Amino acid sequence: MSTFVAQLPALIGVLVGTLGTILATSVADRWRWRRSQSVRWDERRLDTYVEFARVVKEIQAVSVRILFEERRASRSVAIDRRTGLARLADLDVRHTLAWEGVLLLGDARTVGAAQRWRDAVWAIEQAARNGTAAGDGTPDLLRQANEGRDGFYLAARTGLGVSGGPVAQSVLLQQRLGRGALTEPLVAADPPGDGADR
């Protein structure tokens, strides 16, 4: 019995060490699992945001091209009204699917910003669909759409933890519209040649 009592501290030490190892391994595994889940959802969120932005920007570009005749200073290439409306119909389906992804995966701030951008582009699209000239209101509609895009990108980048400073384009584009000089290249964050901002 005295041998057992003498070995009891060593046995307790082994037991405590084993339990500590199990606990530490469990905590580390749980942290790795949560981290991998977070990365997985961030990747899906990023893909969803990119698809949404691509579709909304394309809707804006096609709508502006339909309105080209009313915007003679634009560098956008005019598009036949029938062709443009058919493209808008196709884009509407893609937009609906992309929007559902944003609603499912986006945080509240990003969803709100996406809604504001979507509504601003919707106003341009309605002018194109209705065949009504936006007239002097076109620059305001474009400004609102560009500000909406900036807000969406800021919210999405913040939600995803993307660093690197601001990427706002609306002020730059507004300055170009005010000067009437649209020959300068756009900042790399803006796809070249879509003409939807001009």
Indicate the Cα dihedral angle 52, 58, 61, 67, nearest 10°. -100
pLDDT tier at 68, thresholds 50, 70, 90: confident
Q: Is residue 134's pLDDT more than 90?
A: no
pLDDT at 46: 92
Higher pLDDT, 170 or 89: 89
Inform me whether the pLDDT recorded for 198 exceeds 80.
no
Residue 23 lies in a domain: no
How confident is the model at residue 132, as a pLDDT? 67
Residues in the chain: 198
Domain range enclosing 168: 45-198
- Report pLDDT for 175: 65
Q: Span 189-197, mean pLDDT? A: 41
Residue 65 and residue 77 in contact, taking contact as beta carbons nearer than 8 Å: yes
Model pLDDT, residue 7: 77
Question: Per the structure, how many domains does the chain have?
Answer: 1
Q: Is position 17 within any domain?
A: no
**Assigned token pair, 163:** 């660093």
Whether residue 12 lies inside any domain: the answer is no
142 is a domain residue: yes
In a domain, 186, yes or no: yes
